[in-house]
Amino acid sequence: MLKSVKKLRRRKRSMVFISFPGDEKSSGGCVAAGRGFFHINSHGGAEPCPFSPYSDINVKDTSLREALKSPLFKALQTEGLLADDHIGGCTLYMNRDKVEAIINANN
């Protein structure tokens, strides 16, 4: 996969390719929770990523720009969970107890 992404980056310089998972180290940690992207579930909930199914804001009720300012996303960014050293898998999933604590603190 890494070879394919590198090849695409060389051939299509006008496009941005993110290897997910894979680019966490070169991106300074997880690119989730508004640090590059977020996931919208089937009910409109803005989630940090597909592997971290927690949401505190719904895009049916707000703009995408406002969803990026979600208290959950901001807390994940300031708590340092996204900068965790990536060892494979989803850092938010591996720290789901901390993510759940943030959700519970904001409710």
Sorted by where each begins, the domain ranges of the chain are 28-106
Residues 22-56: pLDDT tens digits?
677 666 777 778 776 889 999 999 999 888 889 99
- Give pairs for 79-88: CB < 8 Å, separation 24+: 81/30, 82/29, 82/30, 82/31, 82/32, 82/33, 82/35, 83/28, 83/29, 83/30, 84/29, 84/30, 86/21, 86/24, 86/25, 86/29, 86/30, 88/21
Average pLDDT, the chain: 83
pTM confidence score: 0.74
For residue 57, what pLDDT is reported?
94
Q: Which residue did the predictor score with more confidence, 82 or 28?
A: 82
